[in-house]
Amino acid sequence: MIDVATLSVIRRWALREQMSIREISRRTSLARNTVKKYLRAGDEEPRYAKRASSSKLDPYAEKLSTWLSIEATKSRKQRRTLLQLHTPQV
């Protein structure tokens, strides 16, 4: 799948500048069939599948947010470093 910028360049060259499919394929280093496919698609933008994965930190999110809110209320000298926050977790 090509990105939206390349798709707009292909459409501009084909529609405005009346460039041939062969010339567009040479300049973009794409196959002629690929150029034809995207020109035939019309105004339809390519759709990318959205990943539905959770974060690796989700199980620890509540604990981390409470720790960080507690640390934010402390003065700078009394706060724990990231290494000190991480050590009890491991």
Nearest-5° Cα angle at 2, 12 to 48? 115
85-90 LR contacts (CB < 8 Å, sep 24+): 89/60
User: How many structural domains compose the chain?
Assistant: 2
Tell me, yes or no, whether 30 lies in a domain. yes
Do both 35 and 65 map to the same domain? no
Tell me, yes or no, whether 47 lies in a domain. no
The mean pLDDT of 63-72, rounded to a whole number, is 88
Tell me, yes or no, whether 50 lies in a domain. no
Tell me, yes or no, whether 51 lies in a domain. no
- The string of pLDDT tens digits covering residues 47-66 is 777 878 888 888 888 988 99
The mean pLDDT of 61-76, rounded to a whole number, is 88
Tell me, yes or no, whether 49 lies in a domain. no
Tell me, yes or no, whether 65 lies in a domain. yes
Do both 30 and 60 map to the same domain? no
- Domain boundaries, position 35: 4-40
- The string of pLDDT tens digits covering residues 1-14 is 788 888 889 999 99
Tell me, yes or no, whether 46 lies in a domain. no
- Residue 29: strand, helix, or coil: coil
Tell me, yes or no, whether 87 lies in a domain. yes
